[in-house]
A = this chain, B = another copy of it.
């Protein structure tokens, strides 16, 4: 796909859109025919590149036409579909979980990284590094059955509140992205989540919140073991990493779970770099889009220096790769439904 093609197609699309008030019927574009499918997106290059891409790959006879079974699209979760500041939601869950389990582990009062969690000492926690984080994840995510863990996650989400917005975390999903998910599905795309976060942390709520069923969620995982307990089969969660679905792991996870290459990918950080490469660098017309966190007032403003969701090399190379960069401040009319 060349930049010239993009411009040309956009012009064609704008002309077509302008005529929808008239009598020309649109085939295969039900969402377009019923008014603006992306009302929370300001008119601008990102919105136009989405509309233009969808029109190009869904219009029969188009040189870029893609058959329905190959209309696979992948979305990162943290920072792309919902808020990832001041820390990943799953990390907030792990910290709360450690606090909830602390009475059973009196030794944690003197043992890092648990002591840091119990003391709300974020500096010591950061010093514990990745190894400390893995330890926290294991005690909070392993040692129970898959069914028990799903219940723990749902119970936590029903009571936990985001520190800045004082709302349930599931309220902090991006309205423009919900519209995008629905718009793509209305055009027969199959929407997948491909996240560095835990696969079993997302599945209990991905369908009600995003309309993405459990089988279309890809993520990091720990190992599980099948066991019969009193003649009841369970999957027991072990304190051992299975797969890290981040960075170069995302194309690997996509191939393993989906077995097809996405034709569009949506991310917001360097952890999505390889996923966007995998989706877009094919020679055919593809769409890569980065959400750029530019709105410190309505959400958070961060990119190159951020501890969570760092966007640096992917931002540098976006233009060269014809990736669209959507500025939350400029391109989104609203960020959350409640705003």
Contact = CB atoms under 8 A, between A and B. Distances in A.
A146 to B, nearest CB: 6
B225 A259 contact: no
Contact of A199 (B225, B232, B259, B281): B259
Interface stretch (A82-90, A98-106, A151-159, A248-256): A248-256
Contacts of A258: 214-215
A215 B278 contact: no
A215 B254 CA distance: 9
A119 interface: no
B235 A252 contact: yes
A192 to B, nearest CB: 8
Contacts of A200: 259
A207 interface: yes
A303 interface: no
A203 interface: yes
A233 interface: yes
Contact of A233 (B224, B233, B274): B274
A228 interface: yes
A207 B258 CA distance: 13
Contacts of A187: none
B251 A72 contact: no
B203 A233 contact: no
A255 B69 CA distance: 23
Interface string A212-248: 0111110001001110100111010000001000001
Nearest to A204: B259
B215 A72 contact: yes
Which of A203, A232, A235 neighbours the largest number of chain B CB atoms within 10 Å of its CB? A235
B215 A257 contact: yes
Interface of A: 69, 72, 146, 190, 199-200, 203, 207, 213-217, 221, 224-226, 228, 231-233, 235, 242, 248-249, 251-252, 255-260, 274, 277-278, 281
30 contacts: A69-B207, A72-B215, A146-B255, A190-B215, A199-B256, A199-B259, A203-B259, A213-B260, A214-B259, A214-B260, A215-B216, A215-B258, A215-B259, A215-B260, A217-B259, A221-B256, A224-B255, A225-B248, A226-B248, A226-B251, A226-B252, A226-B274, A226-B278, A232-B281, A233-B251, A233-B274, A233-B281, A235-B252, A235-B255, A242-B256
